[in-house]
Structure formats: structure tokens, C-alpha cells
């Protein structure tokens, strides 16, 4: 029989493989987000801003802008914090941000849509939360390797994480 000391690395390895699969699925969906949002904006959003027609593809600038803003806020909070939140808490927070973004998208489309189209303000709020989720979740895949991984396999596990992200992006084209 295996002792707890011997079983823990095996459990960690299986847990890592499960998380690697989840990472692949997450990044597969994450890779299609810009094109799906562009289609949504093209068909359902009033793109007139201050009297100018703003193209749906122009909304892509919101992601890097909000990454800078949200990233600055996160860095400020981490500098003031006495300890880094664990990887699982960061995953929960990132998923909460993503869930809030999609909830706002659904609610705005269901209750605020009119023949004139959805207000651009809804898209700004959605991009804020999606950028926050990205800033929180993207580094967590690697943090999980070092926080929950088997120390003898850190290099292999990091490579598998990177491969899962790549495979997820590759499969995203099928969606």
C-alpha cells in the first residue's frame, strides 16, 4: 500500500493533468473571445461615439488599455498587500470577473437592447471585467505548476502548460 507521503506526488500529478486539460479548454475559448465580441458589437451595438461611426474592430483597443489600467490597480494592491493570494483564490477571482462580464453582456442584450443598438458603455464595462479576468488568470497557469506541482517535474509541467495553451489556441479555430 502507498503511504500518504508516496501518494501525494501521484495525486498532484493527476490533479495537474486535469488542470492542464482545463487550461487548454479555457485558452481555446479565450482565443475566440475577440472575434465573437467583434461580431456581437458589429450586429448589436450602436457604434456612434461623439458623432463618429466607430468600427467594431476598433473596440479591440479597449483590451490593452484596460489591461494597463487593471494591471496597474492589481500591482498597486499587491505592493500594499503583505502576502500574495494563493493560486486557487486568484483563479476564483479571475473566473468571477469573467462571469460578471458575461452576465453583464447577457443582461444588457436582454434588457437594454433597442432598435438603435446597445450603448457603447455596456461594452466598456464588459471589456473592463474581461481584461481584469485576463490579468488575473493568465499568470495563474504557471503559478499552479510551482504551487501545486511535483518539484522534480517543474520543467516538464511548465512545458506541458505552455503546450496546453498552444493546443487550446490551435483548436479554437474549430469553434
pTM passes above 0.95: no
| Banded model confidence at residue 5, pLDDT cuts 50, 70, 90 | low
In the numeric block, which cell numbers belong to residue 81?
498587500
Among the ranges given (36-40, 84-88, 123-127), the one the predictor scored with the smallest mean pLDDT: 84-88
Work out the widest C-alpha separation in the chain, in whole angstroms: 73
CA separation for the pair 168, 137 (Å, rounded): 15
CA distances in angstroms from 64 to 26, 59, 134, 154, 155, listed in the order given: 20, 10, 11, 31, 30
CA separation for the pair 155, 38 (Å, rounded): 37
What pLDDT, in 10s, does the model give residues 50-102? 888 888 888 888 888 998 998 888 888 888 888 878 877 888 888 899 889 98
How buried is residue 53: exposed, middle or buried, by Cβ count under 10 Å (0-12/13-18/19+)?
A: exposed
Q: Is 53 helix (H, G, I), strand (E, B) or coil?
A: strand
CA separation for the pair 48, 27 (Å, rounded): 32
Q: Which has the higher per-residue pLDDT, 68 or 114? A: 68
Amino acid at each position: 500500500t502507498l503511504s500518504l507521503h508516496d501518494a501525494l506526488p501521484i495525486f498532484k500529478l493527476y490533479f495537474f493533468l486535469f488542470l492542464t486539460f482545463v487550461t487548454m479548454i479555457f485558452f481555446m475559448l479565450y482565443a475566440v473571445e475577440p472575434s465573437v465580441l467583434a461580431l456581437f458589437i458589429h450586429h448589436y451595438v450602436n457604434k456612434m461615439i461623439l458623432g463618429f461611426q466607430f468600427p467594431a474592430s476598433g473596440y479591440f483597443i479597449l483590451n490593452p488599455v484596460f489591461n494597463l489600467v487593471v494591471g496597474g490597480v492589481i500591482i498597486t494592491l499587491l505592493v500594499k498587500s503583505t502576502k500574495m493570494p494563493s493560486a486557487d483564490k486568484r483563479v476564483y477571482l479571475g473566473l468571477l470577473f469573467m462571469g460578471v462580464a458575461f452576465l453583464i453582456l447577457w443582461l444588457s442584450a436582454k434588457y437594454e437592447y433597442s432598435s438603435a443598438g446597445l450603448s457603447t458603455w455596456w461594452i466598456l464595462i464588459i471589456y473592463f471585467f474581461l481584461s481584469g479576468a485576463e490579468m488575473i488568470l493568465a499568470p495563474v497557469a504557471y503559478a499552479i505548476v510551482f504551487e501545486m506541482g511535483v518539484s522534480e517535474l517543474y520543467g516538464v509541467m511548465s512545458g506541458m502548460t505552455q503546450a496546453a495553451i498552444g493546443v487550446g489556441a490551435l483548436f479554437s479555430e474549430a469553434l
